[in-house]
Amino acid sequence: MAAEITTIRPFMAIRPAEAYAKDVAALPYDVMNSEEAREMVQGKPWSFLHVDKAEVDLPKDIDVYSPAVYAKAKENLENMIHNGILGQDLLPNLYLYRMTMNGRSQTGLVCCTSVDEYINGTIKKHELTRADKEADRIRHVDTLNANTGPIFLAYKENKDAKAIIDGWTAAVKPVYDFVAEDGIGHTVWVIDSDTEIGMLVESFKQVKNLYIADGHHRNASAVKVALKRREAKPDYTGEEEFNYYLSVLFAAEDLYIMDYNRVVKDLNGYNTEEFMQEIGKKFDIAPYTGEGPYHPEALHTFGLYLDGKWFKMTAKEEIITDDPVLGLDVSILQKELLEPVLAIGDPRTDKRIDFVGGIRGLGELERRVDSGEMRLAFSMFPTSMEELMDVADEDMTMPPKSTWFEPKLRSGLFIHDLGE
């Protein structure tokens, strides 16, 4: 077997004209529903949501998976190119994409990664995908003949790449530099020097694996489109653009995972006292006496919000394990409390539980419980990149809703054309 190396490949991005970058850049398609997307595009004719969620330009009652939606996406993309809002670079480049949130920056390398390296496991996943969500993006990519949403990948370390990236961002003027409405800064550089491109490509040959941080559905879909194209072109060489897909690579140490919290509708027939007694068998529970909501400050600690009060829960020694998956806090909560006490068997499908990304804050948990919509809430300690990579290294999958990455990569700043 060949040594594990990571292939990165420059590409001719289709990207916004400088004056339009801020208008085009949009949140990824999967962080809002169709209704929210319709509101977001009001007065924004060039928002990339017109491509990524094209139902916004069709009647409200349309099935979002109907052929008309994909056709509209293609029409809208072609229209943006025709109007000069988007244009294609004439030579293959690499790109740098820096996001800044609350004074913290992370800079990613925008490139294409290899479909074969996803298939052979060099590019590692940690999450299961849903067939219906995959099918949607397969049709989207196939109809547009392009990857429109980048995959968010992480790597453990690459000192050579860091030196090149730091040098380029310090010396070269960015092509885009804007702050989006949510206060997150987006800065993009084009690496158009063959020397630096060559050095970066070489440096990643020393990197053993890439890890999908966010975008499992986009990744699986990009790969399935490639396999479909290979079937249609049996004499493919492996060099065609469809053998590669759009990614942004970040050093794992630069990434920020937020907590991903849980709210539950009822106590499964228990009253408060019985419930507290039941969960006290597996967790040490103490009232939280500090200010405001309780943010767990270490692994295996949890916040519980019930009857207007916060409690600190600590997992007892006997339920803690070294297993990369079962030892995760989300697994401990599921296996020792949600399932046995609250009868939530499959959190993916159970309507009695909901998940709240850390970006919304713990006040959102209080609000949903105080309003009567939910009965109790759990605040979680964030999963770490180390935990994520350990799970992926064992070829295991994390429980649903384990990680919330922030900030989210914007769509529309880079599009990868799949060519002939």
> Do the Cβ atoms of 331 and 380 come closer than 8 Å?
no
Q: What is the mean pLDDT of the chain?
A: 95
CATH label of the domain that carries residue 284: 3.30.1760
- In this prediction, residues 22-34 reach a mean pLDDT of 92
- End-to-end distance of the chain based on CA atoms, in angstroms? 31
Do 124 and 248 lie in a common domain?
A: yes
**Rounded CA separation 401/279 (Å):** 22
Residues 359 and 346 in one domain: yes
Closest CA to 188 of 21, 367, 321: 21
Are residues 303 and 205 part of one domain? Answer: no
Distance CA 319, CA 248 (A): 38
In this predicted structure, the answer to whether residue 319 has a pLDDT above a threshold of 50 is yes
**Residue 338 resides in a domain:** yes
Does a structural domain hold residue 391?
no
Helix axes 67-82, 131-144, angle to 10 degrees: 40
CB atoms within 10 A of CB 277: 12
Q: Which domain holds residue 372?
A: 260-381
- The HSE-up count of residue 350 (CA atoms within 13 Å, CB side) is 19
- Shared-domain flag, residues 276 and 200: no
Q: Are the C-beta atoms of 103 and 77 separated by less than 8 Å?
A: no
CA dist 48 and 25 (Å) reads 6
Do residues 82 and 229 share a domain? Answer: yes
pLDDT at residue 1 is higher than 70: no
| The two three-digit tokens of residue 97, written as one number | 């994409």
- 211 shares a domain with 284: no
For the whole model, what pTM was predicted?
A: 0.91
Instruction: Name the band, by pLDDT with cuts 50, 70 and 90, for residue 30.
Output: confident
pLDDT at 3 over 70: no
User: Residue 2 falls within a domain, yes or no?
Assistant: no
Structure confidence at residue 32 (pLDDT) = 87
332-388 residue pLDDT tens: 999 999 999 999 998 888 999 999 999 899 999 999 999 999 999 999 999 999 999
Question: Before 407, cis peptide (omega within 30)?
Answer: yes
**What own/partner pairs with CB < 8 Å and gap ≥ 24 does 272-278 have?**
272/306, 272/307, 275/306, 275/341, 278/341
Is the domain of 234 the same as that of 339? no
Are residues 309 and 356 both part of a single domain? yes
Q: Is residue 399 part of a domain?
A: no
Q: Which residues contact 392 (CB under 8 A, 6 or more apart)?
A: 124, 125, 126, 209, 211, 212
In tens, the pLDDT along 56-86 reads: 999 999 999 999 999 999 999 999 999 999 9
Assigned domain for 71 exists: yes
Do 290 and 371 share a domain, yes or no? yes
Q: What's residue 400's pLDDT?
A: 83
Amino acid at 295: H
Q: Are 257 and 385 in contact (CB under 8 A)?
A: yes
The span from the CA of 62 to the CA of 191, in Å, is 42
Looking at the chain, the whole-number percentage of residues with pLDDT higher than 70 is 99
Residues 106 and 39 in one domain: yes
Number of domains in the chain: 2
Domain assignment present for residue 392? The answer is no
74 and 199 within one domain: yes
Mean pLDDT over residues 154-163, rounded?
Answer: 97
Residue 394 lies in a domain: no
Q: How does pLDDT run across 84-143, given as a tens digit for each residue?
A: 999 999 999 999 999 999 999 999 999 999 999 999 999 999 998 888 889 999 999 999
Residue 302's pLDDT is what? 98
Q: Is residue 388 part of a domain?
A: no
Mark whether 87 and 196 lie in a shared domain: yes
Beta bridge partners of 111: 247
As a whole number of angstroms, the distance between CA 355 and CA 358 comes to: 10
pLDDT tens for each residue of 385-414:
999 999 999 999 998 889 999 999 999 999
Measured in residues, the chain has a length of: 420
DSSP 3: P
List, as one string, the DSSP characters of 4-60.
P---EE-B--EEE-GGGHHHH-B--GGGS-HHHHHHHTTT-TT-THHHHTGGGGS-T
Residue/partner pairs of 236-239 with CB below 8 Å, 24 or more apart? 238/116
